[in-house]
Structure 1
């Protein structure tokens, strides 16, 4: 089964002595695997652990991991006295230097950044890991589920489009046999006939396209992280289709080749979403 790179997963729970913990995972398209974290203060030490868990389940994409902890209600007020002393020292220095007469009030002091705050129960990162891990695993399971669901839809679409390519290829192959014979009847000189066959022969491009289409369909059936392989195959299909169109001497073949090029481009757009 193939997976899309886009998906979402979340989980939250009320944990005794800690509060409500929520984990949210969002994944978008990316060439490689990249993890971006938004963690509460004091939990940066858990980033490596979170990254390892994500990398064990996700092979490609940009994963945004957000962890929020809503602790118990504040039980008191905290005054950062050391910071307040530093503020007072610097403010008094400025006041004396510039001979400012207005005095400092309590109201202005407590409004200074970092001086006054509410006390919350914020557990240290390593102590919360045992409670956080089960929630992360549930969020990851939901993320994987949504990625696989979209991947399944993409697989059906790609099978359908690659099937249309095979039909166009059959039409081109049959039309070339008829059109080349008709053209040869109008050419009398043997050298011109040989030159025409050499320049107009598209059998190699048809064979290569047929191989790439089969390979593409087999990769979809195989599943797994095949996004990069599928992207490479579509590039090769587009290259062969361009060559085929350039060699064409028949309007029907040219029309089919243009249609194939358009179909391959649509396929490649969808392949960009696959892990």
Structure 2
């Protein structure tokens, strides 16, 4: 199921650790359709060690979908600059003179270099193991909310397709008896013509029995009542699952395949253009349902 969520841990966040105060951590999760769970992580080097924990959290909450997790660490522009002491600056100056004495081509320290050396590597000092999991939990919760809203929209769409399929099945049901009756009359007319050509050598009762036998065989061959009944049962089960909710994606996959089978059989038994049209319309609706069912967990 498609979804997107993001969260940030700002320096002034109550959950932020003191060592992380000059930094801002951003985390976002995107999910798109997939029959299986496929996780992809795009993390900075500082967060590589947190990938197993993130993977565990995601697999605990998600069952299907192609999931991409992105994280970024930004230095907070509003963070206060380090205040190097005079002794530290003097020490840096002495070190610089010693280096340049041995390496005349060495460049002098810049203000940024002095501040970095005075403040240390804040990113390396940050306890990411205590920061990333809570932020990931927050992001996953937002993602699940987004996916739930998407699920409700998909459920409405599927229920609409179910109503259309039931309408088509109702249109198909009376067509077969009408067609059988028409064919029976056609057989009787042909046998009557044949009797006229044989000049009464065939008894009328035998001709009528043969016509009815042919009509019965034709009716059996084109009967789609069983397919329509099974299609109705599958639609009822799909509607029940949608109203129940939960992890129903795989069961819906199977039911959609069964709907395809019944619609195909309906088309193969068709003896009229109207029934063929109904079968084609059913296949279009079922294919639309199949595409959307792939989004449901």
TM value normalised by structure 2: 0.72
Native 8 Å contact 1:72 1:121 kept in 2: no
Give 1 or 2 for the bigger CA radius of gyration: 2
Distance 1:31 1:218 in 2: 22
Native 8 Å contact 2:53 2:133 kept in 1: no
Shift of 1:106: 5.6
Partner of 1:58: 62
1:56-94 deviation per Cα after TM superposition (whole angstroms, max 9, x unaligned): 211111111112222468979xxxxxxxxxxxxxxxxxx
Alignment of 1:1-275 (within 5 A): 5-14=1-10, 15=16, 16-18=18-20, 19-71=23-75, 120-123=121-124, 127-188=127-188, 189-275=211-297
Shift of 1:178: 2.3
Higher share of residues assigned helix = 2
Shift of 1:185: 2.2
Shift of 1:256: 1.4
Partner of 1:88: none
State the aligned residue count: 234
CA RMSD of aligned residues (A): 2.4
Distance 2:287 2:68 in 1: 29
Ranked by relative contact order (alpha carbons within 8 Å, sequence separation 6 or more), the top structure is 1
1:213-267 deviation per Cα after TM superposition (whole angstroms, max 9, x unaligned): 1111111112122222212211211111111111111222222122111111111
DSSP-derived class of the 1:27 partner: strand
Higher share of residues assigned strand = 1
Choose 158-167 or 249-258, whichever is displaced more.
Answer: 249-258
TM value normalised by structure 1: 0.77
